[in-house]
Amino acid sequence: METRGFEVSTAETVADALRLVKELKPAFAVVDMRFGDGNGLDVIKQLNSLRPDARVIMLTGYGNIATAVTAVKLGAIDYLAKPADADEVYAALIADPEDKAPPPENPMSADRVRWEHIQRVYELCNRNVSETARRLNMHRRTLQRILAKRAPR
């Protein structure tokens, strides 16, 4: 990103990222979903409160609809799944906010839609397995097995 004209600062933890956000108030940010000490959503929330015009991209290897929606509600302009190359990140950062994304060429499978729904309910229940199982009318152990698996394609 430096070769494309951006000044780059990195953070290994949420605490470091929050400190950088307070000090620098960046106009552009690429934030990972998972840090060793927390969640990148906290970083987006803080940055949006300090600089509402900032263009923030959420980058994650754990993509699901629930976290994408939350990231956008907190101020992210895009949500990219890993691995994302520099071209994709750059395009997302400078994209015109009025442009609409084209419809997907390969829509999600029914299994993937089910998995996304379960993940959304799980997030809404603050990652409480018992409460999620109750709301989905599913046995707790069955839900735990589903949550332990990787997302279907």
* Within-domain flag for 46: yes
Q: Give residue-wise pLDDT tens across range 17-68.
A: 999 999 999 999 999 888 888 888 999 999 999 999 999 998 887 667 778 8
Give the total number of structural domains in the chain.
2
Same domain, 62 and 119: no
Same domain, 85 and 115: no
Instruction: Output phi, psi for 11, to 5 deg.
Output: -140, 140
Given pLDDT bands bounded at 50, 70 and 90, which one contains residue 16?
very high
Q: Give residue-wise pLDDT tens across range 68-94.
A: 888 888 988 888 887 788 888 998 888
Residue 72 has a CB neighbour count (10 Å cut-off) of 15
- How far, in Å, CA of 22 to CA of 26, rounded? 9
* Within-domain flag for 13: yes
Same domain, 66 and 30: yes
Same domain, 86 and 138: no
- How far, in Å, CA of 144 to CA of 87, rounded? 37
Q: How many residues does the chain have?
A: 153
Which ranges constitute the DSSP H helices of 106-139? 110-124, 129-136
- How far, in Å, CA of 72 to CA of 41, rounded? 10
Same domain, 89 and 114: no
Asked whether residue 130 carries a pLDDT value surpassing 90, the answer given is yes
Q: Give residue-wise pLDDT tens across range 89-118.
A: 998 888 877 777 666 667 778 888 888 889
Domain span holding position 7: 2-94
